[in-house]
Amino acid sequence: MTVTNPVCHRRPRRSVDRVTDDERWLVVNGRRWPRTDPSLPDELTTALRSHLGRGRSGVGAGKRSGDDERVAASRKRVGLAKHGLGERGPRWWDEPEADRLARAREALRELDALDAAATADAPAAPAAAAALDALDTPES
């Protein structure tokens, strides 16, 4: 008997089968998914995952309400967050760490810009991106 997810009755619950290739891949129900780049700072991954969660939530809400524009905007947010985390696009293990970090920070800036555009009274420099830029400055 297959146990179904109470939220989604169409598919069985996912189970993590194993981690492969030096923890580059997560295998779920026999399918490989790229993991998040482990070299990214915690502050950066936390901010990107927040955008990812909001994007996923927006996709679901947009689908339930039949709002195609909201679904498209939310999918854009999900895509940007996943690229920043290294889960989409070029494989993070094939690129230099500096390039991966720059891609993640650029993705966060774009995501913060989406928030600023949606909120008329948003500050000129989004707080999350500004805080991450402070990490770049060498200590004196």
Q: What is the DSSP string of 110-136?
A: HHHHHHHHH-TT--SS-HHHHHHHHHH
User: Given the structure tokens 């970090």, which residue do they identify?
Assistant: 101
Taking Cα atoms as reference points, which of 138, 115, 137, 140 lies closest to residue 126? 115
- When computed from its CA atoms, the radius of gyration of the chain, rounded to whole angstroms, is 17
Asked if the model's pLDDT at residue 6 lies above 50, the reply is no
Can you give the pTM of this predicted structure?
A: 0.70
For 97, residues 6+ apart whose C-beta sits below 8 A from its C-beta are 39
Q: Mean per-residue pLDDT for 108-115?
A: 94
Beta strand spans in 1-140 (E): 16-20, 25-28, 31-34
Of the pLDDT bands very low, low, confident and very high (cuts 50, 70, 90), residue 127 is low
Asked if the model's pLDDT at residue 91 lies above 50, the reply is yes
92 contacts 21 by C-beta, under 8 angstroms: no
Of the pLDDT bands very low, low, confident and very high (cuts 50, 70, 90), residue 24 is confident
pLDDT score for 4 = 46
Mean pLDDT for the chain?
80
